């Protein structure tokens, strides 16, 4: 894998479900990675951190079922959230998703914002729109990230991103176009992460 000059140190901290089990990272800023199942959350963490197998990637949607915490450069924390909306996980797991993630989003004190991942080939639905509204209401910053742009020919990417931004009611330039396959969007994403985790943010 090519060098990523932004990353000097990456540590898996722990997995957790309940609030008392979250790692105590004090004031260290944290960013959560949210999105539908299979959208590429774990792949984004791996690419962002320049590690192949840090977060578990799977062709089988619903692989990540816990909150997974990673400490980056001793400076900030990434939290890989379980994917929303995968039908084939057991009913009790599916029912637990909402409360687990909602507790995290409302109670995690050092959470600075969310990367909201959406597949470039899909229209965002109510879930994404509701999550953005919820974050706005609760004062959590959102960075919209359109994933798997390598799946579309370059000539169709801008229009797809424009359409997704339009559905969300956001300016197209607020959306990061991303590919974990090619690394497209890496600099843009790092700039957003740096801004969110800056001491004054």
Name the site residues for Mg ion (rule: CB under 5 A): 41-42, 64
Residues 25-64, mask of contacts with ligand GTP (x by CB under 6 A): ----------x-xxxxxxx-------------xxx-xxxx
Stretch that binds ligand GTP, among 3-11, 103-111, 129-137, 143-151 (CB under 6 A): 143-151
Closest to 80 in 3D by CA, of 19, 18, 35: 35
Q: How big is the site for ligand GTP, counted in residues (CB under 6 A)?
A: 23
Nearer to ligand GTP, 75 or 190 (CB): 190
Q: Residue 34: phi, psi to the nearest 5? A: -120, 155
Closest to 117 in 3D by CA, of 31, 34, 32: 34
Instruction: Give all strands of the β-sheet with 10-16 in edge-to-edge order.
Output: 10-16, 67-72, 76-80, 30-35, 111-119, 141-147, 176-177
150 binds, among Mg ion, ligand GTP, none (CB under 5 to 8 A by kind): ligand GTP
State how far the Cα of 71 lies from the Cα of 197, in Å rounded to an integer.
12
Nearer to ligand GTP, 41 or 108 (CB): 41
Nearest to ligand GTP by Cβ — which residue?
83
State how far the Cα of 177 lies from the Cα of 119, in Å rounded to an integer.
10
H helical segments located in the chain: 41-49, 91-107, 126-137, 154-168, 186-197
71: contact with ligand GTP by CB under 6 A: no
61 binds, among ligand GTP, Mg ion, none (CB under 5 to 8 A by kind): ligand GTP
Site residues (vs ligand GTP, CB under 6 A): 35, 37-43, 57-59, 61-64, 83, 147-148, 150-151, 179-181
């Amino acid at each position: 894998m090519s060098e990523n000059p932004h990353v000097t140190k990456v540590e898996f901290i722990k997995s957790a479900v309940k609030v008392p089990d979250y790692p105590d990272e004090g004031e260290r800023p944290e960013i959560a990675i949210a999105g539908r199942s299979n959208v590429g959350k774990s792949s984004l963490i791996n690419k962002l951190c320049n590690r192949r197998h840090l977060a578990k990637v799977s062709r089988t949607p619903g692989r990540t079922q816990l909150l997974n915490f990673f400490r980056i450069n001793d400076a900030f924390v990434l939290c890989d959230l379980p994917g929303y909306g995968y039908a084939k996980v057991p009913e009790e797991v599916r029912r637990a998703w909402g409360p687990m993630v909602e507790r995290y989003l409302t109670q995690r004190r050092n959470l600075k914002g969310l990367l909201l991942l959406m597949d470039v080939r899909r229209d965002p639905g109510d879930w994404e729109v509701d999550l953005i509204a919820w974050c706005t209401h609760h004062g959590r910053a959102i960075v919209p990230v359109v994933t798997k742009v390598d799946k579309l020919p370059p000539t169709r990417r801008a229009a797809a991103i424009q359409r997704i931004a339009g559905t969300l009611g956001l300016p197209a330039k607020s959306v990061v176009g991303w590919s974990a396959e090619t690394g497209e969007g890496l600099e843009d994403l790092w700039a957003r992460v740096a801004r969110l985790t800056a001491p004054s943010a």
